[in-house]
Amino acid sequence: MINLDMARKSPVAKTIPALRKATATFRAAGETVALVPTMGALHAGHLALVKLAQSRADRVVVSIFVNPTQFAPHEDFGTYPRTWDADLAALSELNVDLIWAPGATEMYPDGFATRILPEGPAKAGLEDAFRPHFFGGVATVVAKLLLQVGPDIAVFGQKDYQQLKVVTAMARDLDIPVKIVGAPTVREKDGLALSSRNAYLSQQEREVAPVLHQTLKDVAGHIKGGRKIQDALAVGRAQIERAGFSLDYLEVRHAETLAPISSPDDGPIRLLVAAKLGRTRLIDNIGV
């Protein structure tokens, strides 16, 4: 016997009127709504966000939109992996209630003229120092997604830790009535954080990639063991470069404000790293 439920595909909205119609039905039934924003190329990390969202709300909307405004001209917008059929199958299997998949002109129609320029955590000197256009693009598209879907909660991964802080501040500052929820990073067995960009790694690079997470753990261990933060960072930076990465940053920051800190007494600590392996840029972070 065919299980019709298994074969059911999640509904897809591609226009704002179709999206509003679907979310209005949820609202009319008194149901709560969670949004999980993604750029597609879904992996188990994204699906963990979906499951967390399902545990927190009656209905889950997953957006899939590769946002051109968060890529610089030299970055990988054109080659970013697009795996629509597999994404649709994975979300359907989880019974996601709605997939919001606008085209670029639905999101940015002719004459589009408004941009959010986040400060605070968006100017922490981490990702913003290497991708100056990035958080403006992210904040603007996430504000639009939140206003389009009108969710009660929106789930973001701690994998993109600075982004989580930027989005949280943006929603608070603009009085968008949503709770931003951070979800833990899902990793491969060897510690490498799952990322759509891991698909760019050669076999040899893939073998080296876990050094990033290993180094974060080592540096955290040194700090917990009482070593001076700057000394622990120097050891970590050398370890990453020795493995063949080109390091953008390895930093210790206050876990909430992202301000630099020099002693563990200055507050909860987050260790953040970004480095290139060949042409692939990887980021990761852990709490200490």
Binding site for ligand AMP (CB under 6 A): 38-39, 45-46, 48-49, 156-157, 159-160, 183, 185-186, 193-196
Residue 196 CB, nearest approach to ligand AMP (Å): 5
Give the residue with the Cβ less far from ligand AMP, 164 or 223.
Answer: 164
Residue 272 CB, nearest approach to ligand AMP (Å): 13
Give the residue with the Cβ less far from ligand AMP, 152 or 266.
Answer: 152
Instruction: Give Cβ neighbours of residue 110 (< 8 Å, ≥ 6 apart).
Output: none
Give the residue with the Cβ less far from ligand AMP, 93 or 241.
Answer: 93
Residue 194 CB, nearest approach to ligand AMP (Å): 4
For residues 215 and 250, is the Cβ–Cβ distance under 8 A?
yes
Place of tokens 């000197």: 125
Beta strand segments in 136-218, E: 153-157, 179-183
Tokens of 104: 């670029």
Distance (Å, rounded) from C-alpha 134 to C-alpha 66? Answer: 13
Give the residue with the Cβ less far from ligand AMP, 156 or 245.
Answer: 156
Instruction: Give Cβ neighbours of residue 69 (< 8 Å, ≥ 6 apart).
Output: 108, 115, 133, 136, 137, 140, 141
- What's phi and psi for 51, nearest 5 deg? -65, -40
Residue 13 CB, nearest approach to ligand AMP (Å): 18
Task: Examine the residue annotation and report whether 254 is marked as an active-site residue of this protein.
Answer: no
- Pick the catalytic residue from 43, 46, 213, 222: 46
- The DSSP-derived string for 66-88 is --GGGS-TTSSTTTS---HHHHH
Residues annotated catalytic, as ranges: 46
